[in-house]
Amino acid sequence: MTWIWNNSPALPVVLLLPTAIAIPLFALIERRLARWLALAVSLTTVGLSILNLVKALSLGPIHYHMGGWPPPIGIEYVLDPLSAFVLLVINTIGFLVLVHAKKVVDREIPESGKHVPYYAVAVLMLCGFNGIVVTGDFFNLYVWLEIASLSLYGLIAVGSRKAPVAAIRYLILGTIGACFYLLGLGFLFTMTGTLNMADLKAILPAVGHEPAVVIGLGLIVAGMGLKMALFPLHGWLPDSYTYAPSSSSALIAPIGTKVGAYVLIRVLFFIFGTAYVSRTIPVTTVIGWLAAAGILYGSIMAMAQTELKRMLAYSSIAQVGYIGLGIGLANPLGLIGAVLHLMNHAAMKALLFLVAGNFRTILGHSNIARLDGSTRRRMPWTTAAFAVGALSMIGIPPLAGFFSKWYLALGAVAKKQWIFLAVILLSSLLNAVYFFRVIERIYFARAESSAAEPRTEASASMLVPVLVLAAALIGLGVLNAFIVKGVIGKIVTSAMF
Amino acid sequence: MKAVNYAVLALFGAVLILAGLSLPDRGDPTAPLNRDKSAAGTPNAPSYYIRNPERDAATPNMVTVILADYRGFDTMGEETVILTAGLNCFLILRRERTKEKRR
Amino acid sequence: MTKFLLGHYGYWFVFLLMTLGFYGMVVKKNLVKKLIGMNIFQVAIIMFYLSSAGKWKATIPIVDPAIGTAGTARYIDPLQHCLMLTAIVVGVATSGVAYALLITIYKRFGTLHEDELIERMKNDLDME
Amino acid sequence: MHWELEVVLFVFLVGAALVALESRNLLTAVVSLSVFSFLSALLYAAMGAVDVGFTEAVVGGGVSGILFVVTIFRTSRKSKD
Amino acid sequence: MMRRDDDAIISLVSRTVSPFIMIFALYVIFHGHYSPGGGFQGGTMLAAALILVRLAAGSDLAQLQFPRSWGTPLGSAGVLIYWGTGFVSMLCGGNFLNYAFLPVSGPPPHHRNLGILFIEVGVGLAVMGILTAIYDDLLEGRPHD
């Protein structure tokens, strides 16, 4: 027990990696073991992240030295409230999606020989994201970022016929992003001589005025903007989400973009400090305006789509914009909004993409125009969960989505940014328009065939994660004050305001 | 569209040149990289790496020691990257051989 | 002036190569050309790190008993070398996945030119 | 570090990169990319990074080039730009 | 590759050179402590030697030397060696990858020296296996069959 307690910061990564290797090897014995291994390890990481969150909240930041070398010399893992919180969000969503994945993978990946490496790559992706979140070293972050991105390309590419094209476009843009990150890191490293985050933070005041440092920060922000699909850099997102298998989209949409947002928050508010990024050089202002433009663009484009998954993809651009907006406000309320929305959007988008996966598996399509009352009668639980998710996206009060928007709006008021406030309100309206279009078709459109169709609800493995997420949206909304005070409040106080 | 691309390219080049002007001279032993202590007074990692590999690991090749010991976790990540690439090629390209034979 | 030129000429060449690679990635329409640009970009970044690591009148980072390890000015910084070894591997891995994707795309659509690819994707009947 | 050697190699590198990017025949482009990698390996060695130079020579000039050529053979050899 | 003409000289030279490349690769891996080189370079050279035979003699004949199905398992084994070295030191009370806690005799620098050797071997295996596997995967499903 004490062994687990001592090594808990490193254990998620350390356990995920050999499982990814073991999956193909054990699958030689029994094919079905692959999925069970993936489930077991991701459940373990959920447990470990809960332990880590408790530890980080009660003991303060925990430093774990890899190889026993102290920070400027070796690599350290840092668990502070922010990283522990994001770790828990990522692992929980990953576990729920993996539970759901079985039927979707069976249906949407035709060659059965690919199921085993699919699970292995999915576990590797989780491993990469865990590494990004916990590491306290810039170069180590780059390595895990590459692992996660490479796995994402593969997960997208096994989808429909057009998926490889989307994947290679993502690969090229993603590599540009990674190269920007590495180049910006090179500038920072040449100016300061350290790769450790805490060390860099201590050295920055001495060299912060140099153009090379400013441009290094700009390049890192641009690279991470590409990874999180901030507005003008979102080109890869719609196609990737649409053509990927539904389980991949449900993994990427909630987790992939959020990690980019996490790195931005970490770099801007925890290393460079708010005063530097909002007054010395106006990085956050630029991010805020781009995010506002992205919210409007994503919402308007989402209204024009007829395919559920593509609509959700454009909606993702808008929702990532909310996080960007919270970063752009650069005040405590805005940061609360951004971190809260990071969690809420992860849950909402996972739920909606899983529902899209259910539609595809049971109905064989996810075209909005072909959904109607018979869909509701055939799949009552799935459609109910969809309604909960959609209402939460719009921001109906008791549901989780309302509260992050509420804090963002409060932040905009505190900063006297009336345009941002207007953007938040307007986009809620647009959200309502495009989600009510779907809800209207499901609940109020008359079925084309009046014959009573048998109820063909999705099987338990597909239904339970959806229902859990729907319940979580309600629960997160109700417990919102508790989460904000207990967890996010500590995150905000540890940021440099 | 083409004009936008070239504009991005020009912007990128200009930004790089601007940054390059303020970089320290190459090969200067007093550059921030090469000092014993950083501006904040913390020990500077490269000079530690030069001084101590023989004492710590009985190995004269500094790069090997950094690669495998001081920053060994990076290298494990690197191996994982290669493994990911291999599994991805497996996932994308490989077809099942047993099935083909049966056909 | 001479000191500045001698201390910075490497950076200008490296930035030129970087811009060339970036040009290949954003302007060229053929996917293979984009990958070539990507390779050049990555090599240029590696060169950037290595040029910042060098020291005049210093030797390679392997402990030489004749010099000893007291003076750090006699050895080139080993840290960047180690980082760049990792970066090279990452580059190879990325290219490997990209090659696999290229082959799949060519098998399905018969072209690697981006405009033609978009055209053929539009005409593709698979509506998913 | 010897700046005379480095300048010569840099000039060759820019030339190889231009050929790789502008050639219409993709095989030429890929071979030129291998040349680029090999020259850069020489440059790394000239900068004192022997380990990196070694790796780049083996990877960039060897295996990566072979994989790229295989890809070219499996796809098409002509390019429009 | 595509259509292949059997050329005696190419076949002879590649078959003769390949073992020497392998020997040199092993030297590079095991001598990485004292000279430039190490697991990654050596592993890539091993892969290059295997790919050379595949290029010259054809993929089907080269199966006799290194079967296609070995690539990924060997690569996984390499990564497992690396991870195992770290994990054993973790089990013996140190942090992950802290070779000073490896259960071998001698003073700590000696432990670290040995730990570095283990992981270099792991890296070499991993790189060799996986690069060869990538080459085989790229050639899988040739256009003419």
Q: To 10 degrees, the CA torsion angle through B61, B62, B67, B68?
A: 60
Whether the per-residue pLDDT at D48 is higher than 80: the answer is yes
In a domain, D79, yes or no: no
What percent of chain E is modeled with pLDDT above 90? Answer: 39
Quick one: pLDDT at residue A51? 93
B94–E122 CB contact, under 8 Å: no
Q: In B, which residues are within 8 Å of A203 by CB distance? A: 38-40, 42
C101–A171 CB contact, under 8 Å: yes
In chain D, the number of structural domains is 1
E34–C89 CB contact, under 8 Å: no
The residue among A239, A297, A305 whose CA lies nearest residue A437 is: A305
Q: How far is CA A383 from the centre of its chain?
A: 23
Distance CA A335, CA A246 (A): 31
Q: Is residue A39 a contact partner of residue A96, using CB atoms and an 8 Å limit?
A: no
C63–B54 CB contact, under 8 Å: yes
Residue from B49, B80, B82, B88 to probe the interface with E (highest E Cβ count within 10 Å): B82
Average pLDDT, chain C: 87
A161–C101 CB contact, under 8 Å: no
Q: How many Å lie between the alpha carbon of B74 and the closest alpha carbon of chain E?
A: 11
Q: What is the CA radius of gyration of chain A?
A: 22
Q: Centre a 10 Å sphere on the Cβ of residue A11 and count the other Cβ atoms it contains.
A: 23
Which residues pair with residue D25 across a beta bridge? D78
Q: Given A66, A189, A215, which is nearest B18 (Cβ)?
A: A215
A25–E94 CB contact, under 8 Å: no
Written as one letter, the residue type at C111 is: T
Q: In B, which residues are within 8 Å of D1 by CB distance? A: 26-27
Quick one: pLDDT at residue C126? 57
B63–D51 CB contact, under 8 Å: yes
Residue from A21, A123, A124, A143 to probe the interface with E (highest E Cβ count within 10 Å): A21
Q: Give E9-50 pLDDT, tens digit per residue.
A: 888 888 889 999 999 999 999 998 888 888 899 999 999 999
Quick one: pLDDT at residue A452? 61
C89–E40 CB contact, under 8 Å: yes
List D residues 21-40 in contact with C (Cβ-Cβ < 8 A): 21, 26, 29-30, 33, 36-37, 40
Q: To 10 degrees, the CA torsion angle through A357, A359, A362, A367?
A: -120
Domain that holds residue D23: 3-74
Whether the per-residue pLDDT at E86 is higher than 80: the answer is yes
Q: What would the mean pLDDT of D12-27 be, rounded to a whole number?
A: 93
Q: Give the three-state DSSP class for E103.
A: coil
Chains B and A are in contact, defined as 3 or more C-beta pairs closer than 8 angstroms: yes
C62–E138 CB contact, under 8 Å: no
Q: Given B34, B45, B69, which is nearest A194 (Cβ)?
A: B45
Query: CATH fold of C2-123, please?
Result: Helix Hairpins (1.10.287)
Q: How many CA atoms lie within 13 A of E55 on its CB side?
A: 20
Distances (CA, A) of A237 to A163, A313, C73: 12, 7, 48
* Eight-class DSSP state of B66: I
Q: Is residue A137 a contact partner of residue A195, using CB atoms and an 8 Å limit?
A: yes
Residue D65 contacts by C-beta under 8 Å, 6 or more apart in sequence? D30, D31, D33, D34, D37
Q: Which residues of A115-145 are buried (b: 16+ CB within 10 A; e: fewer)?
A: bbbbbbbbbbbbbbbbbbbbbbbbbbbbbbb
Phi and psi, residue D78, nearest 5°: -105, 150
Q: Which long-range contacts (CB under 8 A, 24 or more apart) does A171-175 make?
A: A171/C94, A171/C97, A171/C98, A171/C101, A172/C25, A172/C31, A172/C34, A172/C35, A172/C38, A173/A226, A173/A233, A173/A235, A173/A236, A174/A149, A174/A226, A174/A227, A174/A236, A175/C25, A175/C38, A175/C41, A175/C42, A175/C94
Structure tokens at A329: 């406000």
Distance CA A398, CA A2 (A): 41
Whether the per-residue pLDDT at E4 is higher than 70: the answer is no
In a domain, D62, yes or no: yes
Distances (CA, A) of C90 to A86, A178, B81, C83: 26, 11, 6, 11
Q: What would the mean pLDDT of D24-41 be, rounded to a whole number?
A: 92
Please give chain A's pLDDT, 497 residues, in tens. 788 888 888 899 999 999 999 998 888 888 888 889 999 999 999 999 999 999 999 888 889 998 888 888 889 999 989 999 999 999 999 999 999 988 888 888 877 778 888 999 999 999 999 999 999 899 999 999 999 999 999 999 988 888 999 999 999 999 999 999 999 999 999 888 888 998 898 888 888 888 899 999 999 999 999 988 888 888 889 889 989 998 888 888 888 888 999 999 999 999 998 888 888 888 889 999 999 999 999 999 998 888 888 999 999 999 999 999 999 988 889 999 999 999 999 999 999 999 998 888 888 888 888 887 778 888 888 889 999 999 998 888 888 889 989 999 999 999 888 999 999 999 999 989 888 888 888 888 776 665 566 777 778 888 899 999 999 999 998 888 888 888 888 888 888 77
In a domain, E47, yes or no: yes
Residue D24 contacts by C-beta under 8 Å, 6 or more apart in sequence? D78, D79, D80, D81
In chain E, the number of structural domains is 1
Distance CA A251, CA A151 (A): 11
Q: Is residue D62 a contact partner of residue E50, using CB atoms and an 8 Å limit?
A: no
Quick one: pLDDT at residue E145? 38
Q: Give A80-122 pLDDT, tens digit per residue.
A: 899 999 999 999 999 999 999 888 888 888 777 788 889 999 9
Domain ranges, ordered by start, for chain B: 72-103
Q: In E, which residues are within 8 Å of C89 by CB distance? A: 40, 127
Q: In B, which residues are within 8 Å of E137 by CB distance? A: 89-90, 93-94
Q: Which residues of C53-66 are buried (b: 16+ CB within 10 A; e: fewer)?
A: bbbbebebbbbeee
* Eight-class DSSP state of B1: -
Residue A278 contacts by C-beta under 8 Å, 6 or more apart in sequence? A284, A285, A330
Would the CA dihedral through E135, E136, E138, E144 be positive or negative?
positive
E91 close to D (CB below 8 A) = no
Quick one: pLDDT at residue B96? 52
What's the maximum distance between 2 C-alpha atoms anywhere in chain E?
60
Q: In D, which residues are within 8 Å of C61 by CB distance? A: 48
Whether the per-residue pLDDT at B102 is higher than 50: the answer is no
Distance CA A298, CA A404 (A): 18
Q: What proportions of chain B, in percent to the nearest 5, are helix, strand and coil?
A: 65, 5, 30
Residue A55 contacts by C-beta under 8 Å, 6 or more apart in sequence? A5, A8, A62, A79, A84
Quick one: pLDDT at residue B103? 37
Compute the C-alpha angle A233/A91/A46, nearest 5°: 170
Could you give the residue ranges of the DSSP H alpha helices within chain C?
A: 2-26, 31-53, 78-109, 114-123
Domain ranges, ordered by start, for chain C: 2-123
Quick one: pLDDT at residue C125? 63
Structure tokens at E40: 């990654």
In a domain, E2, yes or no: no
Residue from C97, C112, C126 to probe the interface with A (highest A Cβ count within 10 Å): C97
Q: Is B35 left (phi over 0), alpha (psi -120 to 50) or beta?
A: beta
Phi and psi, residue B36, nearest 5°: -80, -35
Q: Is residue C36 a contact partner of residue D20, using CB atoms and an 8 Å limit?
A: yes
Q: Give A419-429 pLDDT, tens digit per residue.
A: 999 999 999 99
Distance CA A234, CA D34 (A): 33
Q: To 10 degrees, the CA torsion angle through B83, B89, B91, B93?
A: -160
Q: Centre a 10 Å sphere on the Cβ of residue D18 and count the other Cβ atoms it contains.
A: 14
Distances (CA, A) of A396 to A318, A349, A354, B2, B12: 17, 16, 21, 44, 43
Q: How many Å lie between the alpha carbon of E96 and the closest alpha carbon of chain A?
A: 6
Nearest chain B residue to D1, by CA: B27
E44–D66 CB contact, under 8 Å: no
Residue from B50, B62, B63, B82 to probe the interface with D (highest D Cβ count within 10 Å): B63
Q: Give C39-59 pLDDT, tens digit per residue.
A: 999 999 999 999 888 888 888
D81 close to B (CB below 8 A) = no
Distance CA D57, CA D68 (A): 15
Q: What would the mean pLDDT of E131-144 be, rounded to a whole number?
A: 76
C–E: how many Cβ contacts below 8 A?
A: 15
Whether the per-residue pLDDT at D4 is higher than 80: the answer is yes
Assess: ipTM above 0.85: yes
What percent of chain E is modeled with pLDDT above 70? Answer: 92
Whether the per-residue pLDDT at B101 is higher than 80: the answer is no
Distance CA D33, CA D41 (A): 12
A–E: how many Cβ contacts below 8 A?
A: 40
Residue D4 contacts by C-beta under 8 Å, 6 or more apart in sequence? none
Per-residue HEC secondary structure of chain A comes to: CHHHHHHCCCHHHHHHHHHHHHHHHHHCCCCCHHHHHHHHHHHHHHHHHHHHHHHHHHHCCEEEEHHHCCCCCCCEEEECHHHHHHHHHHHHHHHHHHHHHHHHHHHHCCCHHHHHHHHHHHHHHHHHHHHHHHECEHHHHHHHHHHHHHHHHHHHHCCCCCHHHHHHHHHHHHHHHHHHHHHHHHHHHHHHCCCEHHHHHHHHHHHCCCHHHHHHHHHHHHHHHHHHCCHHHCCCHHHHHHHCCHHHHHHHHHHHHHHHHHHHHHHHHHHHCHHHHHHHCCHHHHHHHHHHHHHHHHHHHHHCCCEHHHHHHHHHHHHHHHHHHHHHHCCHHHHHHHHHHHHHHHHHHHHHHHHHHHHHHHHCCCEHHHCCHHHHHHCHHHHHHHHHHHHHHHCCCCCHHHHHHHHHHHHHHHHCCHHHHHHHHHHHHHHHHHHHHHHHHHHCCCCCCCCCCCCCCCCHHHHHHHHHHHHHHHHHHHCHHHHHHHHHHHHHHHCCC
Domain that holds residue E124: 8-139
Chains B and D are in contact, defined as 3 or more C-beta pairs closer than 8 angstroms: yes
Q: How many Å lie between the alpha carbon of E75 and the closest alpha carbon of chain A?
A: 9
Quick one: pLDDT at residue C21? 93
* Chain position carrying tokens 């690969």: A171
Chains A and D are in contact, defined as 3 or more C-beta pairs closer than 8 angstroms: no
Would the CA dihedral through C34, C39, C40, C46 be positive or negative?
positive
D4 close to E (CB below 8 A) = no
D51–B27 CB contact, under 8 Å: no
